Amino acid sequence: MIAKTIRTCFPIAAKAVADKAEDINKLNVFPVPDGDTGTNMSLTLASVVKELTALPADADMEAIAGAITHGSLMGARGNSGVITSQILRGVAEGLIPATDPTSSADVAAALRRAVKVAFQAVRKPVEGTILTVLRDISTKADECEKKKMSVEETLDAIVVEAYQSVARTPDLLPVLKENGVVDSGAFGFAIFLENFVAAAQGRTAQIEDFSTTFDASSARESALGRVEIEANDDWEGSEYRYCNEFLFKAERRFDEEECLKFLASMGDCELLVGSYPDYKIHVHSNTPNLVLEHMLQFGQIYEVFIHNMDMESHERTAKIHADQDAGDAAPSAAPAAPSEPAKPLGFVAVAAGSGEAEILQSMGVDVTVSGGQTMNPSTADLLDAVNRVNAEAVIILPNNGNIRMAAEAAASACEDKKVAVVPTKTVPQAFSALFAVMPDTPLDEVVEAMTDAISEVRDGEVTTAVRDSQAADGTPIHAGDVMGIICDSIDVVGSDVKQVTLDCIARMQDEEEGDTLTILAGADMDDDDFDELVSAIEEAHPDLEVDPHRGEQPLYPVIFSIE
């Protein structure tokens, strides 16, 4: 019975969180105000739904628990998603020995197991978060068990307690009170719990008053009554810019505690969950490349997502400002319709760094999507960006070869406006393409002109090898070597970013002399080193006009193009 209930109710509760994802995102200020908690939780839950759907009709609770554990681990996105995956794992494991029919004792045991698993996964639990709510509802379930309440009464009681606990989060975590919000992950968890319980008991989400305490609807209103969302223009939640998360398959046993210590030395919010050989790893860091290199010693990494939390924070702030300007900052309100008529043509572009995004926006791009190498946005991400552009036609600039197919899929899926893709592989190509745009020109002619413009761009990238390989001419490459990539070909190998960049530019100028060099400094190159590099380029190539900018892209300290 419990297995059937979970398979029936989990998708309903997951959809409720997905429907409220944007509302949850707006509450997100801790550990950084990057506005992605609702998205990450809904993606994590969606992965579980997919695994549950694939099970045979007669799957027992042990199989259900396995699907929940594996699905949530594989699909976990972000700090909130990883912690949610551990809560789900604990509850699922705790329900394996449950009786049929289920009792309040079974519910209490499952939540105690969830508390143990989730708190073990987080090295430094913080009060006023989803973990606090989990502990509070576990305590409430224990009380219900002692009072010998029915399972229905127990489930109703923990939903009420969940919202009451959410309402208390600003009193426990100062950053929430400063920003006028409740904890976003805690609120998302309460939404999931309320809708799961409602589905299990065959009613709509609202829980009727069943005791002298107020009901879930009142508790929900109490929680939301604490919310007066403020735009956080100062990103102070973390000194680290990148949210790094990936799946890891160990090829040999390794010291998990030592691994966690290493992750802690790289940044904060470190998580390593799962069990040999499959793990999910999460950390906020300024050096995602070093995190990946370290883990490659022990096995294989895949499904890598590197999010620029600085950019996401600015996007969250912009959305809140837009809502406030419209006189509607309530988290449950629908977005206001555009007040201005649609313009003829708009642009969406992918950017890996905040500097890249700022330049693209200054050149007329309406919406930038965070992404790039190792952090490709999905079709849904790009389609959402297209829908946010108030234009009759939209051009997408993917700025990476791996993103082109997702961009084309988004273009095909959009039904409300004409969408085209100009197949840019780099941000400098996008710069040239945007310069080629002529106003009041038909869409197909604009696309043709932009595509012609990028064919004139020769680009280069400098990065560090994470494994042994070889260059285009057969030169061996060792992990840690600096590589110069010219038009997708590894042509220069060295040990110094500055020298490899100079060698790449010299080779490109020897092949075909250009007039202008646009160069972007990555997040790992400081201003002094960048100034020194630009001076060296100007000295070596006095006839080459150098246009330097801070791109702040990860993994690539230098990206440049010559025209």
| pLDDT tens by residue, 155-178 | 999 999 998 898 888 888 877 777
**429 within 8 A of 446, measured Cβ to Cβ:** no
pLDDT value of residue 364: 87
Q: Count CB-CB contacts under 10 A for residue 373.
A: 18
Q: How far is CA 134 from CA 60, 124, 189, 523, in A?
A: 26, 16, 9, 37
**Which one-letter amino acid corresponds to residue 28?**
N
Answer yes or no: is pLDDT of 26 > 80: no
pLDDT of 334 reads 35
Question: Cα(18)–Cα(15) distance, rounded to whole angstroms?
Answer: 5
Where does the pLDDT of residue 243 fall: very low under 50, low under 70, confident under 90, or very high at 90 and above? confident
Q: Would you say 166 and 190 are in contact if contact means Cβ atoms under 8 Å apart?
A: yes
Confidence of residue 327 (pLDDT cuts 50, 70, 90): very low
The 3-state DSSP class for residue 296 equals coil
Give the pLDDT score at 210: 33
Q: Contact at 8 Å (CB) between 371 and 403?
A: yes
What does pTM read for this prediction? 0.48
How far apart are the C-alpha atoms of 488 and 187, rounded to whole Å? 45
Alpha helices, DSSP H, located in 20-77: 21-27, 37-53, 61-75
Structural tokens at position 166 = 């959410």
Within 10 A of 113 (CB to CB), how many other CB atoms are there?
20
What pLDDT band is residue 229 in, cutting at 50, 70 and 90? very low
Residues in the chain: 563
pLDDT given for residue 461 in this prediction: 92
Stronger pLDDT, 390 or 353, i.e. the higher one: 390
- The residue-averaged pLDDT of 341-364 equals 88
Give the model's confidence band at 221: pLDDT under 50 very low, under 70 low, under 90 confident, else very high: low
- Yes or no: say if 369 and 382 are a contact pair by the CB < 8 Å rule: yes
Residue 258, helix vs strand vs coil: helix
Q: Pick from 15-24, 105-114, 116-125, 401-410 the range whose average pLDDT is largest.
A: 105-114
The pLDDT of 62-91, averaged and rounded, is 87
Q: What is the rounded distance in angstroms from the CA atom of residue 242 to the CA atom of residue 122?
A: 19
* Amino acid at residue number 272: L
Given this model, what pLDDT does residue 61 score? 93
In this prediction, residue 313 has a pLDDT band, given cuts at 50, 70 and 90, of low
How confident is residue 448, by pLDDT bands cut at 50, 70 and 90?
very high
Q: Mean per-residue pLDDT for 280-302?
A: 87
Q: Is the pLDDT of residue 205 over 50?
A: no
| Residues whose CB falls within 8 Å of the CB of residue 114, separated by 6 or more in sequence, listed in order | 86, 87, 88, 89, 90, 91, 94, 134, 138
Pairing state of beta strands 558-562 and 516-521?
antiparallel
Tokens of 535: 């001076």
Which is more confident, 28 or 455? 455
Pair 291, 374: CB distance under 8 Å? no
Q: Which pLDDT score is estimated for 336? A: 38
* Mean pLDDT value across residues 452-468: 88
Q: Tell me how far apart the alpha carbons of residues 128 and 116 are, in angstroms, rounded to a whole number.
A: 17
Q: Given pLDDT bands bounded at 50, 70 and 90, which one contains residue 109?
A: very high
Query: Residue 551: which H helix or E strand, with range?
Result: none
Of the two residues 318 and 248, the one the predictor is more confident about is 248
Q: Residue 65 and residue 72: Cα distance in Å, rounded?
A: 11
Q: Mean pLDDT across the stretch 302-327?
A: 62
* pLDDT for position 135: 94
Domains and CATH numbers, the chain: 2-225 (1.25.40.340), 242-310 (3.30.70), 341-455 (3.40.50.510), 458-562 (3.30.1180.20)
37-53 vs 78-95: helix crossing angle, rounded to 10 = 40
Note the pLDDT of residue 318.
56
Which residue from 351, 344, 345, 346 is spatially nearest to 368, judged by alpha carbons?
A: 351
Average pLDDT over residues 284-288: 85
Share of residues in the chain with pLDDT > 70 (%): 85
Q: What confidence tier does 342 reach under pLDDT thresholds 50, 70, 90?
A: confident
Q: Taking residues 235-258, report their average pLDDT.
A: 78
